[in-house]
Amino acid sequence: MKHLILGNGPAGVVAAETIRKTDPTCSITLVGAEPEPPYSRMAIPYLLEENIDESGTYLRKTEGHFEKLGIELKVGRATGVDPSNKTVQFEDGSTETYDKLLIATGARPILPPIPGVDLPNVHTCWTLDDARHIAALTQKQGAHVVQLGAGFIGCIIMEALSLRGTDLTVVELGDRMVPRMMTSEAGGMIKDWVQKKGINVVTSTKIERIDLTDADRPASTESKSFLKSVIEKLTGHEDAPEPAAAYVDADEDELTVTLSSGEKIACHAVIISAGVRPNVEFLEGTGIDITDGIHTDDRMETSVPDIFAAGDVVAAPDFFTGKPFFSAIQPNAVDEARAAALNMAGRDARMHGVLPINVLDTLGLISSSFGQWEGVEGGESVELSDPERHRYISLQFDGDVLIGATSIGLTQHVGVVRGLIQGRVALGKWKDVLMKEPLRLSEAYLACAQQPGALAG
Amino acid sequence: MQKSLFIDPVKCTGCLQCEMACSYENTGTLNPSQSRIKVFNFEDQGRQVPYTCTQCDEAWCMHACPVDAIGLDKITGAKVVDDDACVGCKVCTISCPFGTINYVAETGKVQKCDLCGGDPACVKACPTDAITYVDSNWTGLDRMRQWAGRANEASL
Amino acid sequence: MAWTRKVLRVNLTDGTCTPEDLNMDWAMDYLGSRGLATKYFVEEVDATVDPLAPENKMIMATGPLTGTVASTGGRYTVITKGPLTGAIACSNSGGYFGAEMKFAGWDMIIFEGKSEKPVYLMVENETAQLRDASHLWGTSTWHTEEQIKKENQDPLIRVSSIGKAGESGVLYACIVNDLHRAAGRSGVGTVMGSKNLKAVALRGTRGLSGIHDFPAFMKVTEEKKQILAENAVTGEGLPSFGTQVLMNVINEMGALPTRNHRDVQFEKANDISAEAMAKPRESDGKAQLITNAACFGCTIGCGRISKIDKEHFTVVNKPEYWGASGGLEYEAAWALGAANGVGDLEVLQYANLICNEQGMDPISFGATIGAVMELYEIGVLDDETIGLAAPFGSAEALAELVDMTANGVGFGKEIGLGSKRLCEKYQRPELSMSVKGQEFPAYDSRAIQGMGLTYATSNRGACHLRSYTVSSEVLGIPEKTDPLTTEGKPGLVMAFQDATAAFDASGLCIFTSFAWTLADIQPQIDAACEGDWSLEKLSEVGERIWNMEKVFNLEAGLTKDDDKLPERLTTEPAKEGPAKGLVSGVPEMLPEYYELRGWDTDGKPKAETLGRLGL
């Protein structure tokens, strides 16, 4: 039995390990598109903050971990899948066969069609290589940086850039920060907070174009070698690849960003965080439904037998509606990977729906959102807000079941929100308690889910 | 035989010695706000309920961690946070459906019960045996019996 | 150092909160809590101040062992000049509030002046802020605590507050923390109300890191906890039965003051005892007692958590009282019950709930009802004056009067002034069972002679907790003395007073003294605190505190005449029980006590005594 796993992010790695745990003898090949050990994109901001070095982003830190488990690692980017012959073609011309295939190729950042988005010093922040370049571009304290997008990922990058000491302007199309995770009240509180921390945030605004301030200025070889030295420091390797970018002299604002308001901002770098889309193009023609992500059943299998999918590439059934839902959320990716892997290995495992959960730290202000935080028709909700002290909570109920929540400043026992929603826990009279005192979530959880006899009545 | 914490809320008086012992063991200070075991007060029912990680088999926190910072202590069965590896992303805190892994702003890391390597400080500190460290099998059986007993009581 | 070394000074007139360094020289002489806060108080406040004037101050203070793992390390003390007594007021409470103050980084909070409008203090670690409390004024301590937690979005905030009693000038209003623990006596809540301070809310996440010798401290506190666990009183009696274990014991001794001290035994004592609390009721088949509970850090757990009978006439349509709550403790059960001849356990719990909810001292309230009922029985008060019939034993009257007093309605206003002022008004001052204007607790001075002297000489007015000689005279701790004789009692009282002052100053609970002596506390303090804390030094700290309080009272205008029991106890012999025929021997004990204290015959400390103590 040969298991082929495309993608070596958290989903790919967890799937490989889960298969190995279930089947000690099968063949497992784990394919990554980047020339790096399996690493975590989620850790990149912490790399930029210099909280960790590159090895700190690695998904598995034990030397020889994959070797010991008999998991073969391959570098390659899949270009096509032939389900009838059970083979996968790669960019370098090689092919791999499989008995069971897992597609965990994740997602990639969207580059919006803005004039100038292809200029040097305009970057997405997605790969380790991106991180190396951004680190070099922002090596200098006070470097002027414009970031496009204040969504969930944008906010994490924003924090890293701010902690690197850049002079940062964030431009968001929506009317608030993290519009797809936070209520307008909470999003406003986050904006207020980060502005007080010195980040300039502009909402309801587009970037119209990006221009070179001085179009004639050539790339200097001096700055290239500086960039190389930074990359060497980050990677710890002396054979770091020759950097492609130029214009690293932070004293100069080589770029001019024009906003929809007409305002022009001179800056040294532009970071793009405008959402992600799943890496599915290579599956065209396979018969797999890839509209907004790979569609799977609750066993994480696609419509094509023996092809499974997990992680950010998937549109798995939503926890509430059962409809395909593209979540791109780490814990969900891992849950899906475990389910997919067990099914690939011949066990029966099901995902009971994907529940959106997010947690965010914007310069010390911690926020989270769960499930249907916008509520449902006919449901009830409660909201407590204390803008002065930056605390917020909103709970959404359907009947006496919690279905969604957003919070700011809640860090203790926050996981019970997931427990209550995912367990579809009937709250009974505790729902009335929560409507009055929404912060007694832990007590409600303990009373209704952990100690039903002792505390419910 | 692996052991686990067995908590009997009926015996708990709410003295918080467990929280103090836990924080001292793990931070070297007396600070209930940094304890990994938390006593919840159900005022209306006159109940105090100590609560911490059950070291569940699913180990949601461990699987959710993007940087391999939560590992399994093979001797105790505890899921243990490696402070050096933890980047403080908090994903585990929203993944654990029991809410028993928490972010600590002061350290920038998450923390959870690690069973003190097999000699839990909270157990030693509890003056009423509301928290005991017992064979895992016994815990499960006894817990089921207790719940059944309480459910009967509640339905009367 | 187990002190945080920080004092928060809150000026209510100016609305300012200012941090100060703790005066460590004083800490070395007065330790903490009761001792150190009283030192601050007497240094800063003129003893002749009107207790309810803005010039009076109020200090909430912890001890060095508050907020530590030492068993019972959760106490805090309120120091001010008491409106009920005109003497030093020093009320001590458990719960979680004191420890939270330490975790927020403060040893004590000094309140001065008076706010123009109702405010509450919110302390979050180093941040302190006075906030508007207009919306909380006129509400109960329970509502206030709930509301503050809610509006600050933090269920873990600890709150001390006053209820309606403290706002409306009940002279024995208390400060209630954690819903049912209280700094109960002498009207400290009245002072708080006079300053328009509704509540103090604390949230501390800094913890305590400065224990002088941490490993030694952890070791010695562990050893001492073991002593408590193995002791019959602290390891078994108190956790199982609470302080209520005493009801039948004291009654059998003929030391249970009954019907305003007319009698010394109560025929229904068993109906209101610990045993009764644990027995299933006829009405619903459930016992009043749910469980025992502990204050912060306490390995004894004497607290009672009870549920009132939902069908009882007092609460039949009031579901807000049906949940579990604190009570009954012995002193409250006695004052609300035996002192009035009321033997209905449920009505006692109801009155106790109201005392907690609206913040008043159940001892002074209950004992004042005793005086009211006696005045009613002898015809001085009638139905019209009181607004209802109030004979001894009337559960209905007790229930009605507790509501009236807590809400400041009708005759309740007079009850709120305490028995001394009430009896004086109706020209029967001898019927007030009080010393320095403060009502007696639950031990009759004729049957437990040491307690008579305890009451007479207590610096805060009649009180059992200044020198609980019951330990020795009833329980034989540390050694048995005969409760019926006066011999040796002045020395016993003095020793208990000084030791108690030291216990209180440490931040620990005096109930540990059933199993511990000062020699058990000493190594815990020594490990926790910098400096040399020998047993001798600790005894001296206790004596110094006692004399400091005494000097304040003298400067406040109190005299030897205030160290006196009501005539009833020194002239009317006990009618029944083991003490039958006996009166209190306070008049003969007092001169010896003064002499042992190094005081002159007027009860004033001699210059050499003060000099020896550095006062």
pLDDT in tens, A233-270: 666 665 555 554 444 454 578 899 999 999 999 999 99
Angle, CA C38 vertex, CA C33 and CA C40 arms, to 5°: 100
Contact between C230 and C212 (Cβ < 8 Å): no
For residue A215, the model assigns a pLDDT of 60
Contact between B50 and B18 (Cβ < 8 Å): yes
Label the pairing between strands C434-435 and C438-439: antiparallel
Closest residue of chain C to B42, computed from CA coordinates: C324
Contacts of B51 in chain A (CB under 8 A): 442, 446, 450
Q: Given phi > 0 = left and psi -120 to 50 = alpha, else beta, which region is B141?
A: alpha
Q: State residue A121 phi and psi, 5-degree precision.
A: 70, 5
Do residue A393 and residue C154 have CB atoms under 8 angstroms apart?
Answer: no
Closest residue of chain A to C146, computed from CA coordinates: A437
Q: Look at residues C566, B99, C356 and name the one whose alpha carbon lies nearest to residue A440.
A: B99
For residue A225, the model assigns a pLDDT of 61
For residue A238, the model assigns a pLDDT of 59
Do residue A386 and residue C155 have CB atoms under 8 angstroms apart?
Answer: no
Instruction: Quote the tokens at residue B118.
Output: 């097999």
For residue B15, the model assigns a pLDDT of 97
For A418, C199, C362, the CA distances from C82, given in Å and listed in that order, are: 52, 18, 17
**β-bridge partners, C78:** C60, C91
Mean pLDDT of C546-554: 98
For residue B148, the model assigns a pLDDT of 40
**β-bridge partners, A402:** A397
How far is it, in rounded angstroms, from Cα C606 to Cα A37? 84
Do residue B21 and residue C293 have CB atoms under 8 angstroms apart?
Answer: no
Tokens 């609980």 correspond to C468
Q: Is the pLDDT of residue C539 over 50?
A: yes
C243-439 belongs to CATH 1.10.287.130: no
Q: Look at residues A206, A360, A351, A190 and name the one whose alpha carbon lies nearest to residue A274.
A: A206
Looking at residue C26, what DSSP letter applies? H
What confidence tier does C345 reach under pLDDT thresholds 50, 70, 90? very high
Do residue A415 and residue B38 have CB atoms under 8 angstroms apart?
Answer: no
Contact between A369 and A181 (Cβ < 8 Å): yes
For residue A236, the model assigns a pLDDT of 60
Mean pLDDT of C370-394: 98
Q: Is the pLDDT of residue C325 over 90?
A: yes
Q: Is C271 in the A-facing interface, judged by CB distances under 8 Å?
A: no
- Strands of the C325-326 sheet, one edge to the other: C289-293, C303-306, C325-326
Q: Look at residues A322, A293, A279, A287 and name the one whose alpha carbon lies nearest to residue A307.
A: A287
Residues 6+ positions from A244 with CB-CB distance below 8 Å: none
Do residue C103 and residue B23 have CB atoms under 8 angstroms apart?
Answer: no
Do residue B100 and residue A413 have CB atoms under 8 angstroms apart?
Answer: yes
Angle, CA B44 vertex, CA B38 and CA B46 arms, to 5°: 65
Contact between A276 and A109 (Cβ < 8 Å): yes
- The CATH number that applies at residue B64 is 3.30.70.20
How far is it, in rounded angstroms, from Cα A221 to Cα A239? 18
What secondary structure, in 3-state letters, does chain B show?
CCEEEEECHHHCCCCCHHHHHHHHHHHCCECHHHCCCEEEEEHHHCEEEEECCCCCCCCHHHHHCCCCCEEECCCCCCEEECCCCCCCCCHHHHHCCCCCEEEECCCCEEEECCHHHHCCHHHHHCCCCCEEEEEHHHHHHHHHHHHHHHHHHHHC
Mean pLDDT of C232-245: 94
CATH superfamily label, C6-203: Aldehyde ferredoxin oxidoreductase, N-terminal domain (3.60.9.10)
For residue A451, the model assigns a pLDDT of 62
Instruction: Quote the tokens at residue C44.
Output: 């800063």
Looking at residue C486, what DSSP letter applies? -
How far is it, in rounded angstroms, from Cα C124 to Cα C107? 14
Mean pLDDT of C41-62: 98
Closest residue of chain B to C125, computed from CA coordinates: B33
Long-range contacts of C480-486 (CB under 8 A, 24+ apart): C481/C450, C483/C253, C483/C255, C483/C447, C483/C448, C483/C449, C483/C450, C483/C579, C484/C447, C484/C449, C484/C578, C484/C579, C484/C582, C485/C449, C486/C449, C486/C453, C486/C585, C486/C588, C486/C589
What confidence tier does A328 reach under pLDDT thresholds 50, 70, 90? confident
Q: Is C155 in the A-facing interface, judged by CB distances under 8 Å?
A: yes
Contacts of C146 in chain A (CB under 8 A): 437
Looking at residue C380, what DSSP letter applies? S
Do residue B46 and residue C69 have CB atoms under 8 angstroms apart?
Answer: no
Q: Is C150 in the A-facing interface, judged by CB distances under 8 Å?
A: yes
3-state secondary structure of C546: helix
Torsion of Cα atoms, A396 then A402 then A408 then A414, to 10°: 180
Query: A54 CA to chain B: closest CA distance, Å?
Result: 11
Do residue B147 and residue A453 have CB atoms under 8 angstroms apart?
Answer: yes
Q: Given phi > 0 = left and psi -120 to 50 = alpha, else beta, which region is C327?
A: left
Chains in contact with A via at least 3 Cβ–Cβ pairs below 8 Å: B, C
pTM over 0.95: no
For residue B143, the model assigns a pLDDT of 55
What confidence tier does C409 reach under pLDDT thresholds 50, 70, 90? very high
Neighbours of C281 (CB within 10 A): 16
How far is C-alpha B150 from the chain's CA centre? 22
Task: Report the topology of domain C469-613.
Answer: 1.10.599
Instruction: Quote the tokens at residue B68.
Output: 């391999």
C520-530 residues labelled b (16+ CB within 10 A) or e (exposed): bbbbbbbbbbb
Closest residue of chain C to A391, computed from CA coordinates: C153
Angle, CA C348 vertex, CA C346 and CA C349 arms, to 5°: 65
Q: Is C129 in the A-facing interface, judged by CB distances under 8 Å?
A: no
Q: Is B56 in the A-facing interface, judged by CB distances under 8 Å?
A: no
For residue B38, the model assigns a pLDDT of 96
What confidence tier does A456 reach under pLDDT thresholds 50, 70, 90? very low
- Strands of the C181-183 sheet, one edge to the other: C127-132, C119-124, C197-203, C158-161, C175-177, C181-183
Burial status of residue C531 (CB atoms within 10 A of its CB: 0-12, 13-18, 19 or more): middle
Contacts of C67 in chain B (CB under 8 A): 30
- Closest Cβ–Cβ partner in B10, B45, B97 for A415: B97
Do residue A440 and residue C154 have CB atoms under 8 angstroms apart?
Answer: no
pLDDT greater at residue B143 or residue A214: A214
Contacts of B30 in chain C (CB under 8 A): 67-69, 207-209, 211
Label the pairing between strands B3-7 and A207-212: unpaired
What confidence tier does C198 reach under pLDDT thresholds 50, 70, 90? very high
Neighbours of C23 (CB within 10 A): 16
Query: B103 CA to chain A: closest CA distance, Å?
Result: 6
Tokens 């050694």 correspond to C479
Residues A280-298: tens digit of each pLDDT: 999 999 999 999 999 999 9
How far is it, in rounded angstroms, from Cα C295 to Cα C73? 9
Q: Is C517 in the A-facing interface, judged by CB distances under 8 Å?
A: no
Instruction: Quote the tokens at residue A118.
Output: 């292809």
Considering chain C, what is the average pLDDT of its residues? 97
For residue A220, the model assigns a pLDDT of 47
Closest residue of chain C to B32, computed from CA coordinates: C207
Which residues in chain B land under pLDDT 70?
Answer: 1, 137-156
Mean pLDDT of C537-542: 97
Angle, CA B64 vertex, CA B59 and CA B69 arms, to 5°: 85
Counting the structural domains of chain B, the total is 1
Do residue C153 and residue A437 have CB atoms under 8 angstroms apart?
Answer: no
Do residue B9 and residue A451 have CB atoms under 8 angstroms apart?
Answer: yes
For residue C313, the model assigns a pLDDT of 97
Neighbours of C612 (CB within 10 A): 15
For residue A377, the model assigns a pLDDT of 94
Q: Which residues of A touch C (CB under 8 A)?
A: 384, 386, 389, 391-393, 409, 436-437, 439-440
Q: Where in chain C is the domain with CATH 1.10.569.10?
A: 243-439
Interface size between A and B, measured as CB pairs under 8 A: 144
Contact between A401 and A417 (Cβ < 8 Å): no
Quote the domain boundaries for residue B82: 3-155
Closest residue of chain A to B144, computed from CA coordinates: A451
Q: Which of C131, C132, C153, C307 to mutate to test the interface with A (most CBs of A within 10 A)?
A: C153
- Integer Rg of chain A from CA: 23
Residues A112-148: tens digit of each pLDDT: 999 999 999 999 999 999 999 999 999 888 999 999 9
Q: Is the pLDDT of residue A222 over 80?
A: no
Q: Look at residues A156, A331, C11, C68 and name the one whose alpha carbon lies nearest to residue B87.
A: A156
Do residue A386 and residue C150 have CB atoms under 8 angstroms apart?
Answer: no
Q: Which residues of C touch B (CB under 8 A)?
A: 67-69, 71, 96, 99, 103, 156, 179, 204-209, 211, 214, 218, 225, 229, 239, 290-299, 301, 303, 305-307, 323-325
Do residue B31 and residue C206 have CB atoms under 8 angstroms apart?
Answer: yes
First-to-last C-alpha distance (Å) of chain A: 54
**β-bridge partners, B38:** B51
